[in-house]
Amino acid sequence: MEGYGGAPDEPTLAHRDSAARLEISAAASRATRETIESTHLAVGATRAVGAGNRARPEEPDEWRSCFERDRDRILHSNAFRRLAGKTQVFVFPEDHMRTRLTHALEVAQVAVGIARPLGLNVALVEAIALGHDCGHGPGGHASEEALDPFVEHGFDHATWGADVSLAPLNLCVETLDGIRNHSWSRPAPATPEGEVVSWADRIAYVCHDFEDAVAAGIVEPTDLPAVVAQRCGVRRGRQLGAFINAMVRTVAATGVVGMDARHAEALSAFRAFNYERIYLRAASRDQADRVVAMLRALVEHYAANPGLILDQPGEPLERAVAYVAGMTDRFACRSAVTLLGWPEDRLPTGIDR
């Protein structure tokens, strides 16, 4: 089908019976939309007007704000798409379990749910949330341990994502700052939107990682600490609602991007439970050890054979780390077997109950 209509003086329609019509004098330009945005955002929110500072100067887009442009660039980037093949918690997740990509989407939803009623810049929140984990290597957080020895001051997925993985996109300084500093171990982001994403990341992963662990038979809903179950429930939908509402009410009441003590205590207990029962259990540690050994061997091999990598800038070791960090789980395993003769019984194997 090539559409309907399409005479020289008529637009082509997607559907024969299309009745969609609008009465507008002209499409709203970026500048017009930014002016409207500026009048509706909260005091202290990040405005697109006056922003848009990039490492390489660019002409503004005709229709999109600088942060909308960033969001779109991240969404269409290879670094973002590769998250579909990278571990969130479980290597080689089963159907319906999270990958690093679905985690990023859920963080974006949680962050927007907080940001919109508070009058924050939703486009900036989305850009930071979608890009926040693009620096992760294969195999989950174990990749940071694996790549640490090869990077001065250690490998941090937050800084790596902003400074390496997403560098070709020429993103705005506010977006990069939020990505670089989304981890709680990092300095505070420079914008309230970045602070919201930091909270949304933690809210999203404690809830969905627990749900995935329940689906895998590793824990039971009744295992949750009482402080979590009583204040936030045992199902993800109720938990997310409790934490999001707590954030919105706290910020609205105090002007501070934070969470009331009662729900923050529950979130902290939830995270501690996940670490003890999911992330650091013996089977998870075994999978992490397999990831670390494999990735370190790959980096050493590529550094010793720089001709194998043709499209990465930098010195051989830098190129090797960047190449391995960008791999999906399956590509890393396949490369280890093909290039190193890596024994299959030493590969990560996925969920081990």
- Domain assignment present for residue 20? The answer is no
Q: How confident is the model at residue 114 (pLDDT cuts 50, 70, 90)?
A: very high
Over 70: is that where the pLDDT of 262 sits? yes
For residue 46 the two structure tokens come to 């990040």
Q: Scanning the structure block, which residue is given the tokens 């939803």?
A: 109
Residue 47 exposure: Cα atoms within 13 Å on the Cβ side:
16
* DSSP letter assigned to residue 281: S
Burial of 229: CB neighbours in 10 Å, binned 0-12, 13-18, 19+: middle
- Domain assignment present for residue 326? The answer is no
Q: How far is CA 22 from CA 4, 26, 37, 264, in A?
A: 18, 11, 22, 46
pLDDT digits 0-9 by tens, 65-110: 999 999 999 999 999 999 999 999 988 887 889 999 999 999 999 9
* DSSP letter assigned to residue 13: E
Q: Scanning the structure block, which residue is given the tokens 């341990």?
A: 145
- Domain assignment present for residue 170? The answer is yes
Q: What is the pLDDT of residue 352?
A: 63
- Lowest mean pLDDT, pick from 29-38, 73-82, 213-222, 232-241: 29-38
- Domain assignment present for residue 298? The answer is no
Q: Determine contact, residues 6/12, Cβ cutoff 8 Å.
A: yes
**What is the model's pTM?**
0.96
One-letter-per-residue 3-state SS of 33-48: HHHHHHHHCCCCCCCC
Domain that holds residue 169: 65-281
Q: What is the mean pLDDT of residues 294-311?
A: 94
Summary mean pLDDT of the chain = 94
Shortest CA distance to 273 belongs to which of 331, 227, 310?
Answer: 227
- The CATH number covering residue 111 comes to 1.10.3210.10
- Domain assignment present for residue 234? The answer is yes
- Give first-to-last CA distance, the chain, whole Å: 50
Q: How confident is the model at residue 50 (pLDDT cuts 50, 70, 90)?
A: confident
Q: What is the pLDDT of residue 121?
A: 98
- Domain assignment present for residue 87? The answer is yes
- Domain assignment present for residue 341? The answer is no
- Domain assignment present for residue 267? The answer is yes
pLDDT digits 0-9 by tens, 137-192: 999 999 999 999 999 999 999 999 999 999 999 999 999 999 999 999 999 999 99
pLDDT above 70 covers a percentage of the chain that reads 99
Q: How confident is the model at residue 264 (pLDDT cuts 50, 70, 90)?
A: very high
In 3-state terms, what secondary structure has residue 114?
Answer: helix
Task: Quote the number of domains for the chain.
Answer: 1
Cα separation, 165 vs 23, in Å, equals: 43
| H-helix or E-strand spanning residue 5 | strand 4-5
Greater confidence (219 vs 9) lies with 219
